Structure 1
């Protein structure tokens, strides 16, 4: 007999009832477990009230004097913004893509969590889904990224807590600044710069929607590495915005059709000062530690002037390239096979081993004409070099010899040569080469020692050795002013006479004979100190040092910031046989420039933390205002020490003005200024070329030499190798500043003297000239030549 059709119904009801009991039992157990877990975990949750002040990892920013960006150091690009700075379209796009109920939910999405939990149970793996913006903030600010059930419960609990204690706008601001968006970009402002090279406010709807689609999978959806995925994700965001009524159909269609036009953008630096940036980085690591330096969000304001630094970079580059032209072409960097069928792809592959150095771009010669060549460069350009950019390239033989002048382009280059080219004007290129000598320039503001510009070499990324602060080189005759100042302090005058006859002296521990000579190898008769310094006459200067005394001169030099232990205690002192850095020389010359005060060079004005609070401010030594001057002084100033008298500084400045007017520094006359003074310097065998000079506004020292000292070549003296760099820089740095004569202090008098005898004479005398004296040192008619005036009773032991 067949079973009844209804006999199974009670069984099914009983089975369904039991399954329902099981389900509710499991649900109750889950709720109970979650409740117990919540009770256990709640006390371990971090406090939320500090989240608004919570530190965001942000790179160290190095800034110029007026806030222009010099460099950034750190692994994360982050540029925090306020909600008012964020375009409304981005907020709409983010909410559409990530959390449409953000402004109404309690911090979590219960349905989303249930769906995610079901996926976890069914698939047996931990799913990420259902994270609201508040939950992402909780995870990013407080929790680890590891996906565990315990962390998920903490995330839910913490989200409730954040939603209760913070406003929605505060939560959204935290999210917009913290979220990772790929390619080292954290936060949407940083992402805008990384992907588009623009600030958020400059992006269009398509670009904003692209960024809004990144948080879910920044590695897989970013437009640089995966443009197809990025387009699909942008389409999703725009579709959601259209569905929510945030945009019109026309806006949607235009944005959805926009191309994926993006590439990796580096941060744009407004001031190129990598040597200064490295000095800041080293300082910060030393005082704050590596971790805080790289992610502490510090902003370091330096003393660097944007205009001065740009001028310094250009002057050093031009000066070293000019040296190249004077000494001939070293030859190609390498040779690669090139034929008529060689593709651009192959050329690019061969160029990938080379980088731009300074302003020089690597290129491969692809064709050689009679008086021109064509090359393909690293920037994927075809450049043409005419004869004007080639004719200089006689073959380099030694620093003192070149080959024959080339007659045609094939005398210089051939197809396949890897060369460097230099852009010299619109559409105009020249053959170039990486300079072999190094150079340094350091420029200080004399009133407080702040560094206005500093260049440590041709290209920091090619060689990061900082020649301005680390290269100890012999300053040659540029050290003479410090000895001459000692003579002025002992009562000698600019009119005192010293012999320029030959000298033979004992030198060294074994008593070797030392026969110093003048650079010209010519001897002089009795010569005034002014002329001796202006024309850099070595034999006169040695006698000045003898008159002063070596011991006295060495200790006197300490007034300029030099260490006595670093100076030779011999007659070679006046010829610059010590080894000093350009920065040390620059500091010494500021004493002349500011009227006699010893300032201390510094390069950091202030340090600001991530909250904008100034945590450190420089306390420079400043030159005190003249007596009776009404100068506004802010705060408590730290006045510099009076190193030499104002009268001494004025006399020495006047003598160094003669270096420019009639001596070895006459190239500086091209500046057509009366407020400049300085001194050339050349060490033995032209191993180092120097010029140190100043105006009331800036002191600047330039050095040129090889990294391992050797001859720069005949005639590569300070006036030829270093002074042109100084002139170019000072011309640009002083542009717009009034031509202000150096202030004449009290106690300076003038007298008419005979230029041959240094003694007073009448105005009608053909040899009459006007000379400055410190009051009380004017020589008397019929007096002894070269002897100090009555202000000092010093024996004239300097006439030999």
Structure 2
């Protein structure tokens, strides 16, 4: 095979100390100038460089490229022996039908090993790389024989075989020894299609680290979980998991590990075919994230900086952005009045969210979001509280900080790069604490209620999880030009997480010709459920979140108004909800620990409680809240008194069961807003993974941001700034 390849491709191969043939290059240059085409001029070493580094398409055969080939060929010749170069070439050439390398070709075409081939069989293989499809013995037997005989003649002219051998070989039919045709599925191409968006981002990251992945002969190790990547690809490209309204609906999705920032999997679109390094909607399309912004810009900062509790009262009533005449509304254009932070966030009410942002201060909230990797522009104003331009990569990474207790890890794809000189560069990300542990836990506790009571299509039985929906609608201008968009969503999101994974999914359309109908606004959550269910099945770990000592859990009476009142130990389960307070800001408790039943200490980070007052047989987090007083005067708008806490002790159980219920822990001073409570939340039963706080008068909810008199229906702020053509709305499915 050596003799055949060298004779037909580069008979002076062993006499080229530089790896190039200056005479052939000069002739090629003359052809390029006089005929406008580039012909010949490549040594075997240059062909190896071309196969390894450059495109082999005719349109890319330029004189500049030929000079680059020559330079690299000289470098290769300095580093490797002729025998090595020839071996590299023989192992790399394409032989049609999805076959690479001469040894593989021998098995495919003749069912033999390379050294078992006859002279005409070897000659046929040696002639294929010049034009693999044109010389295919199955589809072009005549051309294949002509090319084979040309190789045999070259071997004779190069004194590698005798005249008799050449004659006998040329007289052999091209079909002699040829195996029946069989189609080969190229698994590497299939894997490339599945992993393409991830690899695209990994290559970008490698370049940012100062390497050239196309030139530097690197071995790159990425953080991808290929099985998770393949499952995510199948979920969005087949009908086995989720039903899509049509083939044009698109998806962008990212999975990250909350504990280190590693990007686990990523999907940049669906029904794309083999489009190498195409548009990656997971990172390149920054669409308004709707209500998935609320924990990041509205309620997270309010808990962090104002020490708000999950019970903190907000007023869902008519609201106009300050300095404008633009009214903010919800999807149902209704007002639900007084409600807790928990209910407002779970049921995704817009007005309470924007009021929370206003209370914290837009600049301060922007700073909080920026620490989570999301840059909210200053001119967006309060409207950003119900949606701003965010990618699924940013969404998954931001929510990961809530999952892990308040640490942000910048997402990354590449864990290791090995260079040709044997040096290994290892990469990891050190996280940075961006919020208090109490903030992360309290947001998570509230968001547990979303899949359980609001977006139930995303709920996974038995799994400790939290999540948030988000949808945006079209601006009035877009609807005016295309009335079919009325009542549809422009973007539909679901961000969900466990302690092991954080997933953000966007669904929508690339153009303004189509919208997501209410029936299919649940698709994002269903994609999340299908993928997270798979990940959970592959990972036996199902840890629940452990309440930190900086958080106080208390049973609050539904009869409370502006100030939370601790429920009596004898109260019925329908008359109170379990709420969380930052330690030092809980209401005073008139009852002693001994007033409660002995088993009342158990409870999960759920707002559901058992039908037996303060009693449950299951156990979960540990509440270690000893008597202390608040020394902080930085209280939220409202009472803000300081008084001592009582203790409540729970045993910790991080298990795979769903039967964890809340505890009746007690605490001290509290702060609340000045509105009356209109319907506290209550749930009963031993269901787990719930933190609901779902109102007994809810059942559907939304986060629409439609505005009166404008197409920018998420509204504007102070100076009348408007959204960039989209508005936020959300309906429960």
TM-score of the superposed pair, with normalisation by structure 1: 0.55
What is the match of residue 732 of structure 1? 534
Structure 1 residues 730 and 149 mapped into 2: Cα distance closer, same or farther (>3 Å)? closer
> Residues of 1 paired with 2:5 and 2:547: CA distance?
72
What is the match of residue 40 of structure 2? none
Structure 1 residues 524 and 781 mapped into 2: Cα distance closer, same or farther (>3 Å)? farther
Q: Which runs of 5+ in 1 are unaligned?
A: 1-92, 100-127, 156-165, 245-251, 326-432, 622-639
1:619 has 2:467 as partner? no
**Shift of residue 319 of structure 1?**
7.8
Structure 1 residues 461 and 253 mapped into 2: Cα distance closer, same or farther (>3 Å)? closer
* From 624, 631, 636, the counterpart of 1:794: 636
1:387-786 correspondence to structure 2 within 5 Å: 434-435=247-248, 437-461=249-273, 464-482=278-296, 483-489=298-304, 490-500=306-316, 502-506=317-321, 511-565=323-377, 568-570=380-382, 572-576=383-387, 578-610=388-420, 613-614=422-423, 616-621=425-430, 640-662=431-453, 664-669=454-459, 671-685=460-474, 686-709=489-512, 712-715=515-518, 718=521, 720-737=522-539, 738-757=541-560, 758-766=564-572, 767-780=575-588
What is the match of residue 690 of structure 2? none
> Residues of 2 paired with 1:448 and 1:207: CA distance?
56
Structure 1, residues 271-296: CA drift from partner, whole Å, max 9, x if none?
A: 5111122234445566668xx54354
What is the match of residue 258 of structure 1? 178
Structure 1 residues 227 and 726 mapped into 2: Cα distance closer, same or farther (>3 Å)? same
> Residues of 2 paired with 1:217 and 1:551: CA distance?
66
1:142 has 2:12 as partner? no
> Residues of 2 paired with 1:520 and 1:202: CA distance?
72
**Shift of residue 515 of structure 1?**
2.2
**Shift of residue 554 of structure 1?**
2.4
**Shift of residue 751 of structure 1?**
1.9
> Residues of 2 paired with 1:455 and 1:201: CA distance?
41
Structure 1 residues 698 and 310 mapped into 2: Cα distance closer, same or farther (>3 Å)? same
Which of the two has greater strand per residue? 1
Q: Is the 8 A contact 2:308 2:581 kept in 1?
A: no
Q: Is the 8 A contact 1:546 1:798 kept in 2?
A: no
CA RMSD of aligned residues (A): 4.6
SS of 1:481 mapped into structure 2: helix
Structure 1, residues 185-219: CA drift from partner, whole Å, max 9, x if none?
A: 9xx96345578779999779459974565447853
**Shift of residue 179 of structure 1?**
5.0
What is the match of residue 273 of structure 1? 195
What is the match of residue 232 of structure 2? 312
SS of 2:282 mapped into structure 1: helix
> Residues of 1 paired with 2:405 and 2:360: CA distance?
22
SS of 1:531 mapped into structure 2: helix
**Shift of residue 693 of structure 1?**
1.0
Structure 1 residues 149 and 307 mapped into 2: Cα distance closer, same or farther (>3 Å)? closer
Q: Judge which range, 275-284 or 220-229, deviates more.
A: 220-229
Q: Is the 8 A contact 2:95 2:128 kept in 1?
A: no
1:8-23 correspondence to structure 2 within 5 Å: none
Q: Judge which range, 188-197 or 774-783, deviates more.
A: 188-197
What is the match of residue 629 of structure 1? none
Structure 1 residues 598 and 614 mapped into 2: Cα distance closer, same or farther (>3 Å)? same
Structure 1, residues 437-491: CA drift from partner, whole Å, max 9, x if none?
A: 3210011111121111111111445772221111121111111112211121211
TM-score of the superposed pair, with normalisation by structure 2: 0.60
Q: Is the 8 A contact 2:492 2:516 kept in 1?
A: no
Q: Is the 8 A contact 2:508 2:516 kept in 1?
A: no
> Residues of 2 paired with 1:243 and 1:732: CA distance?
65
**Shift of residue 527 of structure 1?**
1.2
> Residues of 1 paired with 2:113 and 2:583: CA distance?
67
Greater relative contact order (Cα 8 A, min sep 6): structure 1 or 2?
Answer: 2
Q: Is the 8 A contact 2:400 2:502 kept in 1?
A: yes
> Residues of 1 paired with 2:14 and 2:140: CA distance?
26
What is the match of residue 613 of structure 2? none
Q: Is the 8 A contact 2:8 2:127 kept in 1?
A: no
Q: Is the 8 A contact 1:319 1:721 kept in 2?
A: no
Structure 1 residues 226 and 539 mapped into 2: Cα distance closer, same or farther (>3 Å)? same
> Residues of 1 paired with 2:293 and 2:119: CA distance?
61
> Residues of 2 paired with 1:175 and 1:543: CA distance?
71
Q: Is the 8 A contact 1:315 1:726 kept in 2?
A: no
Q: Is the 8 A contact 1:191 1:211 kept in 2?
A: no
Structure 1, residues 146-199: CA drift from partner, whole Å, max 9, x if none?
A: 56999xxxx9xxxxxxxxxx9xx97544422235986489xx963455787799
SS of 2:399 mapped into structure 1: helix
> Residues of 1 paired with 2:556 and 2:9: CA distance?
95
1:190 has 2:6 as partner? no
SS of 2:510 mapped into structure 1: coil
**Shift of residue 525 of structure 1?**
3.0
Q: Is the 8 A contact 2:291 2:471 kept in 1?
A: yes
What is the match of residue 684 of structure 2? none
> Residues of 1 paired with 2:219 and 2:259: CA distance?
25
Q: Is the 8 A contact 2:285 2:391 kept in 1?
A: yes
> Residues of 2 paired with 1:449 and 1:798: CA distance?
37
Structure 1, residues 317-360: CA drift from partner, whole Å, max 9, x if none?
A: 358996644xxxxxxxxxxxxxxxxxxxxxxxxxxxxxxxxxxx
> Residues of 1 paired with 2:247 and 2:89: CA distance?
44
Q: Is the 8 A contact 1:450 1:603 kept in 2?
A: yes
Structure 1 residues 203 and 517 mapped into 2: Cα distance closer, same or farther (>3 Å)? farther
SS of 1:703 mapped into structure 2: strand
Structure 1, residues 249-301: CA drift from partner, whole Å, max 9, x if none?
A: xxx99995333747787554435111122234445566668xx5435433322
Q: Is the 8 A contact 1:680 1:690 kept in 2?
A: yes
Q: Which runs of 5+ in 2 are unaligned?
A: 28-42, 44-76, 165-171, 475-488, 592-628, 639-671, 676-733
Q: Is the 8 A contact 1:689 1:722 kept in 2?
A: yes
What is the match of residue 372 of structure 1? none
Q: Is the 8 A contact 2:247 2:271 kept in 1?
A: no
SS of 2:586 mapped into structure 1: coil
